Structure 1
Amino acid sequence: MPHVFLPDLRLNVQIEGPETAPALVLIHGLGGDLRLWDGLVKHLPHHRILRMDLRGHGQSDTPEPPYKMGTMIRDVERLIEHFGLKDAVVIGVSLGGMIAQGLAVKRLDLVRGLVLSNTAPRIGTVPQWQERIAAVETSGVGAIAEASFQRWLGRAWRDNPALPALRDTLLATNPKGWIGAASAISGTDFYETTATLRLPTLVIAGANDGSTPPDLMRETADLIPGARYQLMRRVGHLPMLEDPPAYADLLNGFLTAIGHN
């Protein structure tokens, strides 16, 4: 996979698909990497797709924490500009969805539409994030793994076929990167700015998601006039990993409806 060398940072990226095709930008969540989207990309053969490992994740550089949400938004903004993508639909899950919201507010000239998956303008509370950060500082990412899997996948998380890949990725995350990005989430509240957005938006919720539950996702959709809300059954926080074909069907329906195909 290629790296993009920014002045202050090296980011691991993957870009694929026809160069002249409509652009999609895929942004993973906390403790993930660009492989989260592997099962989805094969269902999107007619798009130019950019995905990346966020700072502190995967094969990208890990600056010292904490990170600011504005800095993480700027990282994605610079990658879009680096590859010369225009009028992209930005698809973000969890932390990636927060980045997508901030990017659309900042650079509406780059963003044609949004897919906000299992995310919200604000996720969790500051005390919750402080507790998790303290646990990772003391004992590593493994300290929050089981609680995370239960929130993400639901009560039957131990039997979820997505668990092995999810576990491997989370436990391979650099603790400094996890702490840095968790700090960015903790300090972010985009309710007022997201409510100013006026662009085609699809909001996707998972019925078994304990991190960003369906009610929170519907509230997020209600902030953006005309946003479509879709609830996926039998999946949790990471539906693109748990059921890629069903997720792709929703995504392709949205892209077709807005003429981005």
Structure 2
Amino acid sequence: MSFAKVNGGVVHFSDDGPRRAPVLAFINALGSDFRIWDEVASILSRQFRLIRYDKRGHGLSESGPDRYDMADYARDLSALLDRLEVARATIVGLSIGGVIAQELYRQRPDVFVALVLSDTAAKIGNDESWDARIAQIEHAGIEAIADSILERWFTADFRARRSEDLAGWRAMLTRTPTQGYLAACGALKRADLRPYAGAIEVPTLCLVGEDDGSTPVPLVRETAALIRGCRFEVIKGAGHLPNLEQPETHAQLIAQHADGAFQKPAAIV
């Protein structure tokens, strides 16, 4: 385990793979830690340097104050990349991680070689949906929403055939610090990156599981349409977390996109 104090808080992170290889930096979904990338990382570890971390209020990272915004999450990753002396990377954001990635691009476009937005959007949910989730958690804890979240995360086939894995990921979700989860819900409620999506100029890939119940295919497609030249792909046999249901396909699409971007000559500014 590795820890670093960045942007005023301690972050738990992993930095694996060849030091001189192209860098992939992964940002996790709401209610998860960086273990959700284990299978994808095992596939990509010989080809890329892989940076994974627990966003604030999740996993083993500190939470910080009760309220923070998407800009705070982005500054955490920006500071971590600087601490690890990573000048440029392909940023891979899943769910809230994709919103963080878009905010990071708004702050630090210089750090991007390419962008992968998986099962995410420039705007997720609305005030009413986030207020209802926050109220339910404040009343009865994350346990009260766990089953409905898992239904949106995973396909019916996964839930039926892989009950042991489902139990493990449920435990990860319900053991997320409540304060960190609620703060992230508030940040998502306030975040709207739609006005900035058109300014993204690096090669961008939008991915979505065909049965994603959290950020459905049409929503992800809408965000892809805002980004010039964005490639859009639907992953069959996957819900909201294709990195867990279809890790080989997910890894292959990420690798192809990153490889193509790293091989392009850097723009002259």
TM-score normalised by L of structure 1? 0.96
Partner of 2:123: 122
Q: Which moved more, 1:189-198 or 1:114-123?
A: 189-198
Alignment-mate amino acid for residue 117 of structure 1: S
Task: Please tell me whether the aligned partners of residues 64 and 176 of structure 1 are also in contact (alpha carbons under 8 angstroms).
Answer: no
Where in structure 2 are there 5+ consecutive unaligned residues? 265-269
1:156 Cα deviation after fit: 4.9
CA distance in 2 between counterparts of 1:63 and 1:197 reads: 29
CA distance in 1 between counterparts of 2:65 and 2:103 reads: 22
SS at match of 2:43: coil
Partner of 2:9: 9
Q: Does 1:198 align with 2:201?
A: yes
Does the C-alpha gap of structure 1 residues 69 and 225 become closer, same or farther in structure 2, counting only changes over 3 Å?
Answer: same
Does the C-alpha gap of structure 1 residues 68 and 177 become closer, same or farther in structure 2, counting only changes over 3 Å?
Answer: same
Partner of 1:64: 65
Q: Does 1:232 align with 2:235?
A: yes
SS at match of 1:247: helix
Q: Work out which of the residue numbers 247, 260, 266 in structure 2 matches 1:257.
A: 260
Q: Work out which of the residue numbers 168, 173, 184 in structure 1 matches 2:171.
A: 168
Partner of 1:246: 249
Alignment-mate amino acid for residue 107 of structure 1: R
CA distance in 2 between counterparts of 1:260 and 1:53 reads: 29
Partner of 1:216: 219
Partner of 2:267: none
Where in structure 1 are there 5+ consecutive unaligned residues? none
Task: Please tell me whether the aligned partners of residues 15 and 48 of structure 1 are also in contact (alpha carbons under 8 angstroms).
Answer: yes
Q: Does 1:48 align with 2:44?
A: no
Q: Does 1:186 align with 2:204?
A: no
CA distance in 1 between counterparts of 2:248 and 2:99 reads: 24
CA distance in 2 between counterparts of 1:35 and 1:88 reads: 20
- 1:70-106 Cα shifts (integer Å, max 9, x gaps): 1111111110111011220000000000000111121
SS at match of 1:5: strand
Partner of 1:25: 25
Task: Please tell me whether the aligned partners of residues 28 and 95 of structure 2 are also in contact (alpha carbons under 8 angstroms).
Answer: yes
SS at match of 1:74: helix
Alignment-mate amino acid for residue 237 of structure 1: H
SS at match of 2:109: coil
SS at match of 2:212: coil
TM-score normalised by L of structure 2? 0.93
Alignment-mate amino acid for residue 202 of structure 1: L
1:255 Cα deviation after fit: 2.0
Does the C-alpha gap of structure 1 residues 75 and 7 become closer, same or farther in structure 2, counting only changes over 3 Å?
Answer: closer
CA distance in 1 between counterparts of 2:258 and 2:156 reads: 33
Partner of 1:134: 135
CA distance in 1 between counterparts of 2:120 and 2:7 reads: 30
1:63 Cα deviation after fit: 2.2
CA distance in 1 between counterparts of 2:161 and 2:206 reads: 23
SS at match of 1:226: coil
1:134 Cα deviation after fit: 1.1
Q: Which moved more, 1:11-20 or 1:246-255?
A: 246-255
SS at match of 1:221: helix
Partner of 2:34: 34
Summarize the alignment of residues 142-157 of structure 1 with structure 2, pairs less than 5 Å apart: 142-156=143-157
Task: Please tell me whether the aligned partners of residues 22 and 260 of structure 1 are also in contact (alpha carbons under 8 angstroms).
Answer: no
- 1:26-52 Cα shifts (integer Å, max 9, x gaps): 000110001010000011122111110
Give the percent of matched residue pairs that are identical in Structure 1 and Structure 2: 36
CA distance in 2 between counterparts of 1:197 and 1:252 reads: 20
CA distance in 2 between counterparts of 1:87 and 1:38 reads: 22
Task: Please tell me whether the aligned partners of residues 150 and 157 of structure 1 are also in contact (alpha carbons under 8 angstroms).
Answer: no
Task: Please tell me whether the aligned partners of residues 149 and 157 of structure 1 are also in contact (alpha carbons under 8 angstroms).
Answer: no
Partner of 1:108: 109
Task: Please tell me whether the aligned partners of residues 22 and 262 of structure 2 are also in contact (alpha carbons under 8 angstroms).
Answer: no
Alignment-mate amino acid for residue 231 of structure 2: R
